[in-house]
Amino acid sequence: MLISFLKKEDGEGESKSKFMGKGDIIFLLVLAAIIGGIWYYNKSTKEETYSHYAKCEALFLANSLSEAKECYENAINLSYRIDSLDSVGYYRVEKIDSLLVPVNP
């Protein structure tokens, strides 16, 4: 038998046949909604990050170097960042800078 999460008032019935009270059910529903919201937020921010880096990679491979550089620099403002993707981004920005700088003869 589950233990009630909320204390019962003095006037409430002491019926042992109830599995959970209304307050317990509301508490569990709110807790489930909070956990679900956090899960959805994390999932959507990860997808946004991966799609942003995929767009930057496509620009780099399509030889649109100035747009790719801007895309990688805008990746700094993403809410979910991964070290491995950041290092790829910084590496690509350095590579683009070296390719875009004209060499003096």
At 55-85, the pLDDT tens digits run 999 999 998 999 999 999 999 888 888 888 8
Q: Is residue 13 one of the residues assigned to a domain? A: no
Q: Is residue 9 one of the residues assigned to a domain? A: no
Q: Is residue 17 one of the residues assigned to a domain? A: no
Q: Is residue 14 one of the residues assigned to a domain? A: no
Per-residue model confidence (pLDDT) at position 91: 92
Q: Could you tell me the residue range of the domain that residue 26 belongs to?
A: 22-100
Query: What b/e string do you get for 30-42 counting C-beta neighbours within 10 Å, with b at 16 or more?
Result: eeeeeeeeeeeee
Per-residue model confidence (pLDDT) at position 9: 63
Domain count, the chain: 1
Q: Is residue 12 one of the residues assigned to a domain? A: no
Which residues does the chain have with pLDDT short of 50?
1
If you ran DSSP here, which 8-state letter would residue 98 be given? H
pTM confidence score: 0.68
Per-residue model confidence (pLDDT) at position 1: 46
Per-residue model confidence (pLDDT) at position 23: 87
Q: Is residue 80 one of the residues assigned to a domain? A: yes
Q: Is residue 8 one of the residues assigned to a domain? A: no
If you ran DSSP here, which 8-state letter would residue 10 be given? T
Q: Is residue 1 one of the residues assigned to a domain? A: no
Per-residue model confidence (pLDDT) at position 12: 56
